[in-house]
Chain A
Amino acid sequence: MSGEGDNMTEFTYSNVDREMEVYGYDSVVKSYCRMCHGGCGVLVYVKDGKVAKIAGDPDCPINHGTLCSKGLASTQLAYHPDRLTYPVKRVGPKGSGSWKRISWDEALDTVAERIMKYKEQAGAESIVMGYGTGRENEAVIYRFANLLGTPNVLTAGHFCYGPRIATGIITCGSNPVVDYENHPKCLMVWGNNLVISNPDEYKGEPFSVSLEAGAKLIVVDPRLTRIAARADIWLQLRPGTDSALALGMLNVIVNEGLYDKEFVEEHVYGWEAFVARVNEYPPENVERITWIPRDKIREAARLFATTKPAAIQWGVAIEQQINCADNNRALLALMGITGNIDARGGQVLFKPPKIRTVSEFGAHRMLPKEQAAKRLGGDRFRLAGNFGIINPKCVWDAILEGKPYPIKMLFFISSNPVMTRANAREVYRALQAVAFMVVSDFFLTPTAELADMVLPAATWLEMDYIGDFWKRHGYILPRRKVIQVGECRSDHEMLNDLAHRVGQGEHWWDSFEGGLDYILEPMGITWREFKEMGPIRGEVTYQKYQKKGFSTPTGKFELYSTLLEKWGYDPLPQYREIPESPVSTAELHKEYPYLLITGMRSPGFFHTENRQVRWLRELHTDPVVEIHPEAAKREGISDGDWVIIESPRGKVRQRAKLFAGIDPRVVAAQHAWWFPEKKDPDHGWEESNVNILTDNAYDGCDPAMGATNVRVLLCKIYPEADKGERS
C-alpha cells in the first residue's frame, strides 16, 4: 500500500522495524498464541521486561498476521491483578474462600504424598486426572496418569474433538482437515462458527480467504450466523437432527449417482449395507425429522457432490449430542463417497513432521492392561474407552456412590467442570464430596474454590512448547517463553517436577526442555535448535490411500465400521431421536414448549475464560439468550429483559435478545457464564450457568462415545420480573 502525493509515505502491514523504532521496544519475540487451542503466529513486543503489545505474525501459515480479540488481549490476562501467582492451600472449610500462600515445594510434596497414599490404599485408579478443552497439556497429563497407573483421565474428549479423532481413525485412519491452503470450491460449514469461535487446526482467516476466492457455501445451522447469511444454501435444521440430514443428503447422492464411483469401487468397505442404510432416509422422511424442505436437502446434496474439490468444516456442535459418533460418521461418509478425502483442496489426512507422536509421548502403552480394564465407564462407552476417554458422570457417580470403586482424588488442570459439564449441581456435589482436590489454573474459578490446593498456571506467554503438537494439519510451531509472572509454572514443568516426587523420575527429565527434545528427537533436532526456526510441516501428499490403503482394519474407508461392530455397536450411522424433544417426550414438551440450544459462541470468550479480562468483557457484559420476536411476544418478553430459562432440572437467568434468525420454536442460550467480579467464592456460578439446565443421564449420552447431550433440551422461558422468584 502506498500513499500518493507530496509526502509519499510508504505504509506496509506489520511493519516490525518501524514499530520497534517508533515505540522504542526492547525486543520482539515470535511465538504462537494459545488463547484457544493454539496455532496463530504472534509477534510479542517487549519493553522493560514486560509485554507491551501483541500482534499477529504475517509469516504464520495459520493466521497470516491477523489475530482475534482473545490473542490481542493476552497481555491483560497475563498481568491481571486477580491472577493466582503462587500456590495456595485451603485453610477454612471447603468453598469458604480462605486460602494460605505456600511454597511450590510444600504444594508438590503434599500432592505427591496424597497420590502415593491413595495409590497404596485404593489403587491408582482412585486418582482422576483431568483437563478441560485442549490447552496443549494433553500429552503430558496422559503421560503422568499412564505412568501412575490410573486409566481415569477426565477431559472434554468425550464430546469435543475426541469424537473427531476417534471416528476419523476408525473410519479412515485420521481426522480429515479442510485443505484451505488449496481453496476448496465448495465449503459446507456444519454447526460451526469458525470466524468467531475456536476451531481446531485452521482458524477463520484461511476460511475467509477461500470464501473470497469464490467458494460455494452451504451452511447447516439452527441459527442465522453471518456465515449462514452469506451462504448459497442455508439449511436451518431442527437442532439435534444432524445425522438424519446427512443421511438424507447421502441418500440423494447415492440414488442420483453423484458419488465418486472409482473411489467407492476401489476404496470403501461395506457399500451395499451402507446403501441399504441410506435408503432408510429418503428426503421426504428427513424433511419430517429435520424441518428442512426435501427440495432444499436435494439441492444442497447436489451442490456439495458436484462441486470439486469440496470440504466440510465441522466442529464441536454435532459432538455434544446423543448422535455424536454417528453425526461424525455420516459427515465422514459425505467426505468419502464424493471423493474429497485426501484430495487437494478437499479434506486431507495430513502427516506431522517426523517427531514422537502425541500418543507415544502420552505413554499409553505404559498403562498396565489390568489398570486399563478399570477405566470408568469403559465397558459402557467402548469407542471412548478404546481412545482413553471417559464420560464425566462415571466420575461423579464413583465419588458420590463409591461404585464401581471409590475415587479419592481429583487433579484438574485448566478445567472448570462446575461450569462446563452437564448437570452442574451434581458436579458441584461430587467436587464437594471428594477427599482431596487439586486445581491448576490462572484464577480462583468456581471449580478452584472447591479445591484443597490451587496451583498457579502459566499462560502461553510464559512457556516453551511445541505448539499444535497434537493437531492434524501437519504443522508444529515453536512457542517461546517471553515473560515470567510471579511463581506461575507451565503444566508441563509442574508435572515434570511432580513426576520426580512420585517415583516416575526415570521417565521424565531434569527440566521439561528434556521433554521437548524427546518429542523432536526423531527429526534430529533439539528444542534449542527448533526455537531458532519457524513452523515445520510434515510432507504434504494427497491420495495416499492409492498406494497404502487407509489405516483401518480392512485397509479401506470404512463406511461400515468393523471396529464398531466388534465393540457391539451398529456399524453404520443412524439417527436416534434426541432425548428430550416434541417427538420423544411429547408430554414434557407441553410444559416445556421450546427447544433450547446452548452452543452459541461469543467472540472474546473461550468457554469459561476471559470474563475478567476487561477488553473482552467489554464486548459482552451479560449472558444472552436469543429468542424469536414472535415467541418473545407470546411470552411477554422484550429485548434486553432478564428472563428465566427453566428446564426439568432447574432455572437460570440470562438477558433476552430478540433475534429473527432463529426458529420461533427454538431459543439459544450462552454457556459457561460466571461472574469473576463477584468476589464471594461462588462467583455467581449458579446464576446463568446453562449446565444447571442440562442432563447427564447415561441413556441420553452417545452409546459409543459417551458424549453428554448438552446442546439440545426442552425449556420454558419467561420474564424474570413477573413470574415469581428464582429458586
Chain B
Amino acid sequence: MSTYALVIDHESCWGCKACEVACKQENNPAEGVKFIYVSEDGPKMVHGKLDFVFHVNVCRHCDDPPCADVCPSDAISKRDDGIVVMDYEKCTGCQSCVDACPYDAIAFDGSKEIAQKCNLCRHRVDKGLIPACADNVCLAHCIYFGNPDEIEKLIAKKKAAQLCE
C-alpha cells in the first residue's frame, strides 16, 4: 500500500495563498474555516541577514495522530494509506482535537458546531485525482503530493541543481 502525504517546500513558497482558495473551491468550508492556510514567519535575523518565510499550515496526517487519541467519539482515524480522516458525522463538537493538535491544523465550524480539517481530499485521491491544493495550482510549484520519501528526494535533487548553476 502506498502512503500519501502533502509535502511543502517552504523555501519556495511566495505566500500567494492560491492553495487556500483552491481548497475553498473544492471543499467550500464555512466562512472563516480554513483547512489550509498561509502564515508569515519573521522577519528576523538569520545568519546576519533579515529573512522571513511563509508557512503553509495544513494537517500533517501524523503517524501517531494525537487528535485521534483524544477524540471521545472515534471520529478520527488513520487509514492504511496514511490519510488521517475526520468523520464529520461522528464529531460531537467537543473540540478536544483542536486543542490536541500541535500544528493548529484543526478548525472549528461554529455554524455546524463541529471540528473540520484537511482530509487530504480523500474523495479525490480515492478516485485517482490529486488533492485540490496540490494539483498544479501553486505558482511556485512548492506543494507536493505523493509518497513522502520520494518527494523529499525530488526536492533535494531540485535544490542541488539550483546550486550547480
User: Footprint of B on A, CB under 8 Å?
Assistant: 1, 3-7, 9-15, 18-19, 22, 53-56, 58, 63-69, 72-73, 75, 185, 195-196, 203-205, 208-209, 212-215, 224, 226-227, 229, 603-604, 614-616, 618-619, 659-661
Question: Among B18, B125, B128, B135, which residue has the most Cβ atoms of chain A within 10 A?
Answer: B18
In the complex, residue of chain A having the shortest beta-carbon distance to the beta carbon of B32? A618
- Pair B50/A14 contact, Cβ less than 8 Å: no
Minimum C-beta distance from A200 to chain B (A): 16
Contact among B42, B53, B139 with A63 in the assembled complex (CB-CB below 8 Å): B139
Give the docked Cα–Cα distance between A203 and B136 (Å): 15
- Residues on B with C-beta less than 8 A from A229 are 42-43, 50-53
Decide: A11 and B14 in contact? CB cutoff 8 A: no
Bound together, the chains give a CA A68 to CA B15 distance in angstroms of 11
Question: What residue of chain A has the Cβ atom nearest to residue B158's Cβ?
Answer: A212
CA A659 to CA B17, docked complex, whole Å = 19
Contact at B146–A56, with CB atoms within 8 Å?
no
Picked from A55, A68, A75, A615, the residue with its CB within 8 Å of the CB of B16 is A68
- On whether the beta carbons of B25 and A14 are closer than 8 Å, the reply is no
A13 near B130 (CB under 8 angstroms)?
yes
Q: Is the CB of A65 within 8 A of B146?
A: no
Residues of B within 8 A of A (CB): 1-2, 4, 12-18, 20-22, 24-26, 31-32, 34, 42-44, 50-54, 81, 124-125, 127-130, 135-141, 145-147, 150, 158, 161-165
Contacts A22-B124, A68-B16, A226-B53 given: A1-B145 contact, CB under 8 Å? yes
Contact B1 A68 (CB under 8 A): no
Interface centre among B1, B25, B51, B141 (most CB of A within 10 A): B25
Chain B residues within an 8 Å CB radius of A56: 136-137
Q: A5: shortest Cβ distance to chain B, in Å?
A: 4
List the 8 closest pairs (A to B, CB-CB), nearest first: A214-B165, A195-B14, A3-B2, A13-B136, A65-B136, A69-B21, A661-B43, A5-B2
- Decide if A69 touches B16 in the complex (CB within 8 Å): yes
A interface majority secondary structure:
loop
Nearest CB of chain A from residue B135's CB, rounded to whole Å = 6
User: What A residues does B127 contact at CB under 8 A?
Assistant: 18, 22
Within 8 Å CB of B53, what residues of A?
A: 226, 229
Query: Are A15 and B50 in contact, CB atoms less than 8 angstroms apart?
Result: no
Chain A residue numbers with a CB within 8 Å of B16 are 68-69, 195-196, 204, 603
Q: How far is the CA of A75 from the CA of B24 in the complex (A)?
A: 12
Contact A69 B140 (CB under 8 A): no
A659–B161 CA distance with the chains assembled, in angstroms: 33
Q: How far is the CA of A18 from the CA of B127 in the complex (A)?
A: 8
Contact call B4/A3, Cβ cutoff below 8 A: yes
- Distance between Cα atoms of A53 and B43 in the complex (Å): 36
How near does chain A come to B154, taking the closest CB pair, in angstroms? Answer: 9
Question: A204-B14, A224-B52 given as contacts; is B135 within 8 A of A14 (CB)?
Answer: yes
Q: Give the CA-CA distance A213 to B150 in the complex, in Å.
A: 21
B21: chain A residues within 8 A (beta carbon): 69, 72-73, 604, 615-616, 619
Q: Check A10 against B128 for contact (C-beta < 8 Å).
A: yes
- Complex Cα distance, B147 from A68, in Å, reads 26
B residues near A604, Cβ cutoff 8 Å: 17, 21
Measured between beta carbons, the chain B residues less than 8 angstroms from A226 are 13-15, 52-54
Residue from the set A54, A213, A226, A229 with the largest chain B CB neighbour count within 10 Å: A226
Q: Which residues of B contact A195 (CB under 8 A)?
A: 14-16, 139-140
Compute how far the CA of A53 lies from the CA of B129 in the bound complex, rounded to whole angstroms.
Answer: 15
Q: In the bound complex, what is the Cα–Cα distance between A15 and B132 (angstroms)?
A: 12
Contact call B147/A3, Cβ cutoff below 8 A: yes
The answer, among A12, A224, A227, for a CB contact under 8 Å with B50, is A224
Q: Closest Cβ of chain B: how far from A657's Cβ, in Å? A: 9
> Which A residues lie within 8 Å of B141 (CB)?
66, 208-209, 212
Is the CB–CB distance between A208 and B52 below 8 Å?
no
Nearest residue (CB) in B for A195 is: B14
Q: Which residues of B contact A12 (CB under 8 A)?
A: 130
What's the least CB distance linking B56 to chain A, in Å? 13
Contact of A212 among B12, B43, B52, B138 (CB under 8 A): B12
Smallest CB–CB gap between B38 and chain A, Å? 9
A72-B129 in contact (CB<8A): no
Name B139's contact: one of A3, A5, A204, A659 (CB within 8 Å): A204
CB of B128 within 8 A of CB of A9, answer: yes
Establish whether residues B43 and A659, one from each chain, have CB atoms under 8 Å apart when the complex forms. Answer: yes
> Are B136 and A14 touching (Cβ within 8 A)?
yes
CB distance from A96 to the nearest CB of B (A): 31
Beyond the given pairs A204-B14, A204-B140, A212-B158, 9 more chain A to chain B contacts, judged by CB atoms under 8 angstroms and listed by A's residue number, are A4-B147, A5-B2, A10-B128, A13-B136, A14-B135, A22-B124, A213-B165, A215-B165, A661-B42
